[in-house]
Amino acid sequence: MYDFDVIMIGSGHATWHAAVALQHQGKRVAIVEKDLVGGTCTNYGCDAKIALDGPFQLIEQLQRFQGSGISELPQVDWSALMQYKHQVIDPLAPTMSNLFQQLGIQMITGSAKLVDAHTLAVGDHTYTSEYMLLGTGQRPATLNIPGAEHIHDSREFLDLPDIPDRLVFIGAGIIAMEFASMVATMGKIVEVIEFSDRALAPFNQTYVKRLQAKMVAQGVEFHFNEAVSSVTKTDSGYLVTTANGLSIETDYVLGSTGRVANVENLGLEALGIKASRRGIVVNDHLQTEVPNIFASGDVIDKPQAKLTPVATFESNYIAGAILGNPAPISYPAIPSVVFAMPRLAEIGVSVAEASEKPDQYHTQVLPFGQQLAFQYKHALDAEATLVFDQSGALVGASLYADDSEDLINVLTMVINGHYTATMLQQQIFAFPSATSGVLDLLATVLPR
């Protein structure tokens, strides 16, 4: 008999949802964690970022009312804000650990390594289980250049006691654009160095360029087609140099050049489980080459976005699979958000794909910021580009707005629920909410 029915490696969203569901069904469950319980998002990722984000978004909104009731904008006290972040984020890991143990889930501290299909080693101890779930996530990629030790990652940035006056961001992806957007609001000197020719490549470039122009107006400088070749410590800070000869003096360097799957030292090779820096290879049931060993979350090599809600979805699916659901996983349309000021959001068929396939899709721009000015708090540039298929059904959307993260969730339900205009009009929404106005506009262009 095995020690457990299921052992999870990692305690983030990729595993703990399954752990709780299985424990409720009478399974004997253990979670192995070598770092903070709850994983990256909970402790030093998206939750921490959002804890710091609020004042910046409020300033963004107040700025639009200057001359219309607002005469002076508040200033962000980063040090006090960081204390607030610690107050709300630091208790999460011990609280979650205590909760799991109260539910009867055994918590094991240490680094785990697979010995065979049913045996796991953690330090000097071994544990056996009928099933294993690998949810070890990702870590920031590092540049192999001189002075790489001077480059900080997102976890370190989200713990800064004070914001330096000059910052360089290497990369123009989601993390860099979100952090640079915050820092620019504080009036700091911000430089973004990007290897490619654009920022936020997967997102609607019309809105990316609009966000970029707004950040440039705040003083942010972008340097595209530049590869950082070295970071040198100087008497006054650091010197960042590129292969093309660009040199920038700064006080702080943040690396945001992608993420790498945590697949090393897990014993995967000995079991024939395929993996690379992109992640672990799984089938359509999220099983590895060893059928009783599953993988979930950011550690999977997959085309779907590596996001917290996707990890949660996969975790819940695996719980169902272990409990007897034979169906393969089927992903709905997945929303993605850049939490800059303002937000960018995408779901479903992209505007770029729609443009490449005019025989299958058509797009329509919805300037709801102008049409719903009072509901959208004078955000006149708030806008959506909607993608429709040949039947007229909504299959994709791209947003540029303060509250895109909420609006994209509503559009997610419309897309995944295959809503028609009639279905929308059978609902009664709160008024005068921002969302209700957009849904009213949407009902005029959807098929009945």
**pLDDT tens sequence across 295-351:** 999 999 999 999 999 999 999 999 999 999 999 999 999 999 999 999 999 999 999
Answer positive or negative: Cα dihedral of 198, 203, 207, 210. Answer: negative
pLDDT at 374: 64
Instruction: Tell me, yes or no, whether 135 and 8 share the same domain.
Output: yes
- Do 275 and 362 have their domain in common? no
Mean of per-residue pLDDT scores for the chain? 95
State which of 237, 257, 277 marks the end of a domain: 257
Same domain, 65 and 91: yes
- Any domain includes 333: no
DSSP conformation class of 270: G
User: Sorting pLDDT into bands at 50, 70 and 90, what band is 435?
Assistant: confident
Does the pLDDT of residue 164 top 90, yes or no?
yes
Question: In which band, very low, low, confident or very high, does the pLDDT at 423 lie, cut at 50, 70 and 90?
Answer: very high
Inform me whether the pLDDT recorded for 34 exceeds 70: yes
Give domain status of residue 327, yes or no.
no
Same domain, 269 and 131: yes
For residue 266, tell me if it sits in a domain.
yes
Round the CA-based radius of gyration of the chain to a whole number and report it. 24
Verify that 264 and 364 share a domain, yes or no.
no
Average pLDDT rounded to a whole number, residues 428-439: 85
Per-residue model confidence (pLDDT) at position 177: 97
* CATH code (residue 269): 3.50.50.60
What are the strands, taking DSSP E only, across 151-263?
Answer: 166-170, 189-193, 221-223, 228-233, 238-242, 247-250, 252-255, 259-261
- Whether 434 shows a pLDDT value over 90: the answer reads no
Q: Give domain status of residue 195, yes or no.
A: yes
When divided into structural domains, the chain yields a total of 3
| Domain interval for residue 383 | 342-443
Report the pLDDT value the prediction gives residue 438, as an integer from 0 to 100. 87
pLDDT at site 285? 98
Mean pLDDT across 100-119: 97
pLDDT at 403 over 90: no
- In this prediction, residue 378 carries a pLDDT of 78
- Is the same domain home to 114 and 203? no
Residues 247 and 264 in one domain: no
The CA distance from 129 to 199, in Å, is 45
- The closest of 146, 149, 147, 182 to 167, measured between CA atoms, is 182
Predicted confidence (pLDDT) per residue in 230-283, tens digit: 999 999 999 999 999 999 999 999 999 999 999 999 999 999 999 999 999 999
pLDDT at 441: 87
Same-domain check for residues 92 and 9: yes
Same structural domain, 83 and 212 = no
Confidence band for 168, pLDDT divided at 50, 70 and 90: very high
In a domain, 337, yes or no: no
Whether residues 14 and 109 fall in one domain: yes
